[in-house]
Amino acid sequence: MYELLLAGIENLLHLKYFLPLAIGTLIGVVGGALPGITNTMTVIMVLPFTFGLEPLQGLAAMIGVYIGGESGGLITSCLLGIPGKPSSVATMFDGYPMSRKGEPGRALWLGIWASFFGGLLGGIFLVGTTGPLASLALAFGPWEYFSLFIFALSMVAGLTGASIAKGLLAGAIGLVITIIGNDPVMGQPRLTLGIGWLEGGIPFLPVLIGVFAFAQIMGDVEKMGRSSVDPAADLVIPKLVVSHSKVVWEILSRPVMLLWTSFVGVLIGVLPAIGGSAANVMAYDQAKKFSSHPERFGTGTPEGIIASEAANNSNVGGSLVTIMAFGIPGDAVTAVMLGALTIHGIQPGPLFISQEPKLAYGIFAAYLLGHFIMIAIMLVGVRWFLRIVLVPKSILFPIILVLCVVGAFALNNTMANVYVLVLCGLLGYGMVKGGLPLAPLILGVILGDQIEINLVRSLMTDENLWLFFTRPISGLLLFLSVASVVFALWQHKRAQKKGAVEDDGADF
């Protein structure tokens, strides 16, 4: 394993792979620093540029975006009190007060180095567990796969949004999208309404791009022209000089907290659709609970910054485990990566690591190297990234939408995918306005075909439906599916009693 990893790192150091990784990381940091531009949006923008590249080049660029984005968000969180993205919200709780107390450099670099160490711990988990988990999944038959995908979908539906019914409904809408087109067994057209370009089915990337791009952009457009407050109006770049050895020691002198919060991040990353924002807040909460001085949280304590940033970067490692071992995306960014892989004819899943070892270990290597590149980029340009907030959204949004169109069109050089993008843009915005979460929809669209294929395969092998329940792993997964829905129902009831129900908080 380690020989392959070293070979992967050596391979990644070649300019043809290193350059996309470095550029991706830079774009990720810039995108992360832009308030309102999430990692998903940045990776969607980068997606069309990867079509003409080799798979590893494209994936290295996307992993760079992912790592850079997770770290870039803390710049504005710490220095301006504006989270660059949802997964930097908790970083702001202590990062901004510390900056206000006259230590902006310390606040910023505590976050950056915590991201680095958290990310590397996530990398150890990624390298160490992907292979064994994939081996476990190799023993799966169609019954187990069907149950695994149902479990993933039910868990996401239960964990997102204020209502379990709406979460499940959103997942079902995702599944409905996948039944449009020719059936997988005999190729008979279904629900195409006589529209020719629907016969091939609806590819999930234009759905994902449309749903996320429009849901996010239109959410921001709604607020434009209403607010007269310009967050960057009185932007003053502070002095960020700091002793790096002191900052690193501040982090490493808290090994238990660093390990625990990184583990929280990884664990949340492994769960489908529960991404960096949940990891960021939950790790902050954990650090506060275990701290001997919880009253200091929110006033500029280093623990708050370290916990939240270590968790959101280790979360990336967890998300990559799920997609590489099971073919289930851990969040929207890995969903886009899954799409990029399928464009090159590569199917992530249990066989991925054994059939594509060069690519798999290249991904591990890109993930590990990306953190070093991120540190280098921050050392050189952190002062400049703060100026990013000055770029008006009226310039950014048209460019993003053009890249979305190019991304959808370039999938197979047809306008049909652009029309899907438009329809899904409307659907995504409509769902947000209707209070339906987007995470289950996307997971439904990604897993829908696989759910159907595995259901059909299992029934064609043996028509006995009880096998889904009597085969131990399948039965366990179905039990966990029901349990996750029941648990979510109980949680929602409890939250309703407390009056603390909030809408969609997922990262998908």
Length of the chain: 508
Per-residue x/- track, 355-394, other proteins (CB under 8 A)? -------------------------------------xxx
Residue 422 CB, nearest approach to other proteins (Å): 5
The answer for residues whose C-beta is within 8 angstroms of residue 131's C-beta and 6 or more apart is 1, 353
Closest CA to 65 of 43, 33, 34: 43
- Cβ distance to other proteins smaller for residue 179 or 346: 179
Closest CA to 279 of 488, 487, 71, 89: 89
Identified binder of other proteins from the candidate list 108, 159, 403, 506, rule CB under 8 A? 403
- Cβ distance to other proteins smaller for residue 90 or 213: 213
DSSP letter (8 states) at residue 275 = -
Identified binder of other proteins from the candidate list 209, 363, 436, 478, rule CB under 8 A? 436
Query: For residues 160-199, which are near other proteins according to CB under 8 A?
Result: 162-163, 165-166, 168-169, 172-173, 175-176, 179, 183, 185-186, 188, 190-191, 193
181 three-state secondary structure: strand
State the Cα–Cα distance between residues 362 and 353, nearest whole angstrom: 11
Q: Identify the helix (H) or strand (E) that includes residue 182.
A: strand 181-182
Query: For residues 40-79, which are near other proteins according to CB under 8 A?
Result: 48-49, 51-53
- Cβ distance to other proteins smaller for residue 100 or 344: 344
What residues are paired with 48 via a beta bridge? none
Name the region of 298 (left: φ>0; alpha: ψ -120 to 50; beta: rest).
left
Identified binder of other proteins from the candidate list 5, 259, 267, 455, rule CB under 8 A? 455
Residue 25 CB, nearest approach to other proteins (Å): 19
Q: What is the DSSP string of 297-324?
A: TTSS-HHHHHHHHHHHHHHHHHHHHHHH
Instruction: Determine, following the binding rule CB under 8 A, whether residue 120 of this chain makes contact with other proteins.
Output: no
- Cβ distance to other proteins smaller for residue 294 or 434: 434
- Cβ distance to other proteins smaller for residue 21 or 382: 21
What residues are paired with 189 via a beta bridge? 182
State the Cα–Cα distance between residues 263 and 115, nearest whole angstrom: 13
What string of H, E and C letters represents the secondary structure of 385-443? Answer: HHHHHHCCHHHHHHHHHHHHHHHHHHCCCCHHHHHHHHHHHHHHHHHHHCCCCHHHHHH
Q: Is 285 exposed, middle or buried (0-12, 13-18, 19+ CB in 10 A)?
A: middle
Residue 448 CB, nearest approach to other proteins (Å): 8
190 three-state secondary structure: strand
The answer for residues whose C-beta is within 8 angstroms of residue 401's C-beta and 6 or more apart is 213, 217
Using CB under 8 A, which of the segments 100-108, 137-145, 346-354, 429-437 binds other proteins?
Answer: 429-437
Residue 259 CB, nearest approach to other proteins (Å): 40
Residue 224 CB, nearest approach to other proteins (Å): 6
Residue 132 CB, nearest approach to other proteins (Å): 33
Using CB under 8 A, which of the segments 27-35, 249-257, 354-362, 411-419 binds other proteins?
Answer: 411-419
State the Cα–Cα distance between residues 477 and 149, nearest whole angstrom: 9
Report how many residues bind other proteins under the rule CB under 8 A: 66
- Cβ distance to other proteins smaller for residue 139 or 193: 193
Residue 171 CB, nearest approach to other proteins (Å): 9
Query: For residues 459-498, which are near other proteins according to CB under 8 A?
Result: 459-460, 463
State the Cα–Cα distance between residues 372 and 250, nearest whole angstrom: 19
* Extended beta strands in 144-224, E state: 181-182, 189-190
Query: For residues 224-283, which are near other proteins according to CB under 8 A?
Result: 224-226
DSSP letter (8 states) at residue 34 = S
State the Cα–Cα distance between residues 409 and 202, nearest whole angstrom: 13
| Token code pair at residue 344 | 């090159």
Using CB under 8 A, which of the segments 16-24, 235-243, 273-281, 419-427 binds other proteins?
Answer: 419-427
* Residues of this chain that bind other proteins (CB under 8 A): 48-49, 51-53, 162-163, 165-166, 168-169, 172-173, 175-176, 179, 183, 185-186, 188, 190-191, 193, 217-218, 221-226, 392-395, 397-399, 401-403, 405-406, 409-410, 413, 415, 418-419, 421-422, 425-426, 429, 433-436, 448, 452, 455-456, 459-460, 463, 503
